[in-house]
Structure 1
Amino acid sequence: MTGIDSVQLERVIVHKVGNPTRGEELKLSENPLSLNDPIVRNLLARYFLAPVNENEQYQFTHISDLDLNEVYHYVKGIFDEPKQFALQSAMLAQFLYNKSTHVRVKEGELYVAHFSNVPFGTEYVEAVGLFKSETKETFLKVFPHGQSFEVGAEDGIDINKLDKGCLIFKKERENGYVVCVVDQTNKQNDAQYWVTDFLQVARSANSYHHTNAALGMCKLFISNEMAEKFEVNKSDQIDLLNRSMDYFKTHDAFKMDEFATEVLHHPEMIETFTQYKHTYEQAKQVSIDEEFDIHLSAVKKQERFFKSILKLDKNFHVYIHGRKDLVEKGYDEMRNMHYYKLYFEEES
C-alpha cells in the first residue's frame, strides 16, 4: 500500500484465536495496546498495511441481508461508535474462532486495528483492519553477559510477512464497504476460511478486476488451450503472449472483438478463444466484460507472469521480445535434433 507514512494507528487490540477442533482456546484481551512507543506504532502500521494492494478491491456480501454479514456488522459498529472498539473486536475474534475448524487453520494472534488518515484515491478516510499472524519465526538475540556477549533464541513474528489481513475503508457502506484482502498462506485454496467463511467478501467488478482477470485468461489460453487445439510451437506462444501484453500496454480500453482481431488474427482461433472465455469465467467464478477501461496497475502486476523465455533443453534460454518473423524453427535429420534460427543485424 502506498502512503503508509500518513496513516495514524489510533488503537489496536490483540486476541489469541485457536482451532477449536484441536482443543485450542480463544483468549480475549480486555484492553487495547498502549502504543506509547512511536517506533512500535509505526512498525505495526507498516506490518499491517505494506502487503495491502489498494487496487484489488472486494466488498462484504450476504445471500439475503448485508447486515447479517457478521464482520460487516461488527466493523460498522466500530465506525459508528469507536468507544465500543474492544467489545466489537471480541465479537470478531469469537466469530473467527467459530470459523477456524478446518484442519489446516493454525492458531494465531488476531489484531483488530482502527486507523485514521488512510489514503483512498484523492482523499483520506477512516479504516478498520483485521490481521492474523499464524507463522512464527526463530530469531537470534545477542545480549551482554558480564564482559562478554551471549546469544539466545526467541520465537516471534516477522514484520515483513503478514499471513492474513483485511483493510476496510469507511467508503460505500451501503454496498458492503471497500475492502482489501491479504491471504499469503492459502494461495492454493487449501483453506479459504479467511476470505470465504470469515469475511464473506466478493471481488468488486472494477477496471482493475477486469484487467487482471482478462490477462490471466489470455495467459492460460495461449499457454494451455491453444497448444491443445492448434499446431503451435513455443515461439508462437511467446509471440502471442508478447502481443497480448503489448495490446494492454498500448490501449486505454479493452474491446473483445478488437483484441481478438489484432492479437489472434485467425477466425478459428478467435472462435476458440471466445468459447474459452465462457469456460474460464465459470471455472474461476469471475465475470469479464466485453469492454472495459484498462488498469495499468493490473497490467504491471500480470506482466511478470508473461514469460518470454524459450527454454531449449538445459543448454539455452532464449528471450524473445518481438519480431516472430526473425525466428525460424527447423529439424536437422543428420543430427536428429530440432533447431532455431535467429536473424539479427548487430550483436550487443
Structure 2
Amino acid sequence: MVSFFEASLAQLSIHRVGNKLQDEFYVLSDASLQIEDEFLSNLLMQYYLKPFEKVNEVYRFLHSSDLNLNELFHFSTEVFKEKGRFHEVSQQITKYLFDLTNHPKIKSGELYVAYFNNVQIEGELLDAIGIFKSETKETYLKVYPEDSGFNLGYEQEGINIQKLDKGCLIFNTDKEEGFKVLVVDQTNKSGEAVYWKDEFLKLKIRNDNYNQTSNTLNVYKSFVTNKLEEDFEMTKADKIDLLNRSMKYFKEKESFEMDEFSNEVIGNPKAIESFKSFKQNYEKEFDTEIADSFDISTPAVKKQAKVFKSVLKLDKNFHIYIHGNKELIEKGFDDSKAMNYYKVYFKEEE
C-alpha cells in the first residue's frame, strides 16, 4: 500500500503527552528538530513509515455535520496550506490529544509530528503528515570494549524502532472527501482506550473494493458463527464448511454478486433471507453500506483467510482441520461411552 523509497523527512517536532487523570501534563518543545545526521534520518523513516507498508485499510476524516469541525482535518488543512505553521500546529495537535486522555489506562509518551515529501500511496507520490506516539519503553544492553576485553552496560527507557505503538499518515489528496488516512495502533487493542482512532482522529473507513470485500466476509463470518444456529440445527463442522465455501468463492471469483454468492454458498432459501436481513441490520448499526456487487480485492481475501477458522477442536485431545467435502465427516453419539464422536472418511494417508 505505502512505499517510502523516494520519501524524505522534511520537518519533525517532538512533544510529550501525559495523562491528566494521573496528574500528568503535556510538554511542548519550542522549535522543530533539524535532523542533520543521515543515518538517524533513515532510522526515523524506518520507525515511522515501515509499519504502514502492509496496511491496506484507507480511512477518511469525518464529522456528523461539517468536515471542517473535525479537529485533525482542520489541523492537516492548515499545515498543507501553509508549511511555515507546521510547528505551531504540532503544538495544537499535542494539546488536543492531551485533552482526550480521559482514561486511566492511557499511557503517557512522546508525540512526534512529522512532515514527509514523496510518500507513495496507491501509485501516487504525495506529501504526508505523520503523527506518532511512543508509549512502550525498553531496556537495551550495550557491549563496549574495555582494557583487554569487554564490559556491559545498559540503557533504560529506550525506544524500539521496530515497534511503533501508534501512528497515522495523512496524505495531501482527496481533501473534499476527508483526505486519505492510514492508521496503526499496536496498543490498547482491547477497546479500553480507543481514543486514538475514534476520538482523536475521528475516522471512517473508505468504502472501496478492499473494504467491501473485507466487510462482506466479516458480516458473513459473524452470521455463520453467531446467528445461523438460532434458526437451524448445526454442528461446528457445518459452520466450518460454510466458512470454507465462502472463502473458496472469494478466492475463485473476480467479482461478488449477492444472489450468486447466496445460492452457491448458502443454498437454503430461508438461510439466504436470514443472511440478507443480518447484512441490512449490520449496515444500519455501523452506518456502512455494503454493495450487492463489487470487484473482489485479493489482498482483503488473503487477510481474512488468516482469521477464517477451519479447525474443529475436540476437548483438549484432537484438532480436526476441515478443508474439503463436509460429507466425509459424520457426527454421532456413543451410548456406551456417553461421548460424542466424529467419523472421518478418507482414501489414503499422506
If the length of structure 2 is used for normalisation, what is the TM-score?
0.93
Question: Superposed, which structure 2 residues align to 1:73-222 within 5 Å?
Answer: 73-147=74-148, 148-222=150-224
Distance between the aligned counterparts of 1:318 and 1:54, measured in 2?
32
Distance between the aligned counterparts of 2:170 and 2:155, measured in 1?
36
Give the alignment partner of residue 234 of structure 1, picking from 233, 236, 239: 236
SS at match of 1:90: helix
Gaps of 5+ in 1: none
2:129–2:170 CA contact under 8 A, matched in 1: yes
State the match for 2:4 in structure 1.
Answer: 4
Report sequence identity in percent: 46
Gaps of 5+ in 2: none
Distance between the aligned counterparts of 1:286 and 1:140, measured in 2?
49
How big is the shift at 1:163?
1.5
Q: 1:104 to 1:283 in 2, by over 3 A?
A: farther
2:221–2:243 CA contact under 8 A, matched in 1: yes
State the match for 1:279 in structure 2.
Answer: 281
State the match for 1:257 in structure 2.
Answer: 259
Q: Which moved further from structure 2: 46-55 or 84-93?
A: 46-55
How big is the shift at 1:98?
1.7
How big is the shift at 1:128?
0.8
How big is the shift at 1:76?
1.7
Distance between the aligned counterparts of 2:84 and 2:242, measured in 1?
57
How big is the shift at 1:15?
0.6
State the match for 1:43 in structure 2.
Answer: 43
SS at match of 1:6: coil
2:213–2:296 CA contact under 8 A, matched in 1: yes
1:310–1:317 CA contact under 8 A, matched in 2: yes
1:255–1:290 CA contact under 8 A, matched in 2: yes
Number of residue equivalences: 348
How big is the shift at 1:285?
4.3
CA displacement 1:205-246 (0-9 Å, x = unmatched): 111111111111111111221233311111111111100111
State the match for 1:306 in structure 2.
Answer: 308
CA displacement 1:22-44 (0-9 Å, x = unmatched): 22121111222232222221222
Paired letter, 1:257: D
Superposition RMSD in Å: 1.8
How big is the shift at 1:197?
2.1
State the match for 2:335 in structure 1.
Answer: 333
Question: Superposed, which structure 2 residues align to 1:6-85 within 5 Å?
Answer: 6-52=6-52, 53-85=54-86
Q: 1:331 to 1:101 in 2, by over 3 A?
A: closer
Distance between the aligned counterparts of 1:134 and 1:285, measured in 2?
32
2:2–2:119 CA contact under 8 A, matched in 1: no
The yes-or-no answer on 1:246 pairing with 2:252 is no
If the length of structure 1 is used for normalisation, what is the TM-score?
0.94
Paired letter, 2:130: G
Q: Which moved further from structure 2: 37-46 or 122-131?
A: 37-46
SS at match of 2:5: helix
How big is the shift at 1:278?
2.5
Distance between the aligned counterparts of 1:189 and 1:282, measured in 2?
21
Distance between the aligned counterparts of 1:167 and 1:154, measured in 2?
29
How big is the shift at 1:199?
1.2
Distance between the aligned counterparts of 1:299 and 1:342, measured in 2?
29
Paired letter, 1:197: E
How big is the shift at 1:2?
4.3
How big is the shift at 1:146?
4.2
Distance between the aligned counterparts of 1:299 and 1:144, measured in 2?
52
SS at match of 2:191: coil
1:110–1:131 CA contact under 8 A, matched in 2: yes
SS at match of 2:182: strand
SS at match of 1:13: strand
Q: Which moved further from structure 2: 127-136 or 100-109?
A: 100-109
How big is the shift at 1:68?
2.4
Paired letter, 2:240: I
